[in-house]
Amino acid sequence: MALAETEQLTRMIASAALSRAICTIGELGVSDHIKAGSPQSIQTLARLTGTHERSLYRLLRFTASYGVFRESGDREFDHTVLSAALCTEAVGSFRPATRMFHRMFKGWDGLDHSVRTGEAGAVQVFGEPMFDYIGRNPELGPLFDAGMTAFHGHETQAMLDAYDFSEIRTLADIGGGNGLLLAAVLQRYPQLRGVLFDLGHVAGRARAGLADLGLGQRCSVVEGSFFAAIPAGADAYLLRHIIHDWTDEQSIQILSNCRKVIPAHGRILLVEFSVPAANQASLGKDVDMMMLAFPGGMERTEAEYAALFEQSGFRLATVTPTKSAVSVVEGRPV
**CATH at residue 27:** 1.10.10.10
Of the candidates 294, 302, 132, the one whose C-alpha atom is nearest the C-alpha of residue 227 is 132
Say yes or no to pLDDT of 10 above 90. Answer: yes
Same domain, 19 and 153: no
Of 32, 61, 91, the one marking the end of a domain is 91
For 303-333, write each residue's pLDDT tens digit.
Answer: 999 999 999 999 999 999 999 999 999 999 9
Please check whether residue 100 lies inside any domain of the structure. Answer: no
Residue 151, phi then psi, degrees to nearest 5? -65, -45
Please check whether residue 97 lies inside any domain of the structure. Answer: no
pLDDT at 121: 93
Count structural domains, the chain. Answer: 2
In three state form, how does the secondary structure of the chain look? CCHHHHHHHHHHHHCHHHHHHHHHHHHHCHHHHCECCECEEHHHHHHHHCCCHHHHHHHHHHHHCCCCCEEECCCEEECCHHHHCCCCCCCCCCHHHHHHHHHHHHHHHHHHHHHHHCCCHHHHHHCCCHHHHHHHCCCHHHHHHHHHHHHHHHHHHHHHHHCCCCCCCEEEEECCCCCHHHHHHHHHCCCCEEEEEECHHHHHHHHHHHHHCCCCCCEEEEECCCCCCCCCCCCEEEEECCHHHCCHHHHHHHHHHHHHHCCCCCEEEEEEEECCCCCCCCHHHHHHHHHHHCCCCCCECHHHHHHHHHCCCEEEEEEEECCCCEEEEEEEEC
Cut 0.85: pTM above it: yes
Please check whether residue 258 lies inside any domain of the structure. Answer: yes
**CATH at residue 283:** 3.40.50.150
Same domain, 71 and 36: yes
Same domain, 49 and 115: no
For 194-217, write each residue's pLDDT tens digit.
Answer: 999 998 878 888 888 888 889 989
Name residues whose C-beta falls within 8 Å of residue 282's C-beta, 6 or more positions apart in sequence: 273, 275, 276, 325
pLDDT at 37: 93
Same domain, 80 and 225: no
pLDDT at 207: 86
Please check whether residue 99 lies inside any domain of the structure. Answer: no
Q: Which residue in the list 33, 152, 244, 265 is annotated as catalytic?
A: 244
Annotated active-site residue 113? The verdict is no
Same domain, 68 and 172: no
For residue 180, how many other CB atoms are within 10 A of its CB?
Answer: 19
Same domain, 170 and 284: yes
Structural domain boundaries enclosing 18 = 3-91
Say yes or no to pLDDT of 1 above 80. Answer: no
Same domain, 277 and 184: yes
Say yes or no to pLDDT of 61 above 80. Answer: yes
Name, of 48-57, 150-159, 197-206, the range with top average pLDDT.
Answer: 48-57
Same domain, 231 and 297: yes
Of 91, 118, 137, the one marking the end of a domain is 91
pLDDT at 73: 82
Same domain, 111 and 86: no
Say yes or no to pLDDT of 77 above 90. Answer: yes
Same domain, 285 and 144: yes
Please check whether residue 96 lies inside any domain of the structure. Answer: no
Same domain, 234 and 307: yes
Same domain, 59 and 143: no
Please check whether residue 266 lies inside any domain of the structure. Answer: yes
Of 30, 60, 91, the one marking the end of a domain is 91
Please check whether residue 192 lies inside any domain of the structure. Answer: yes
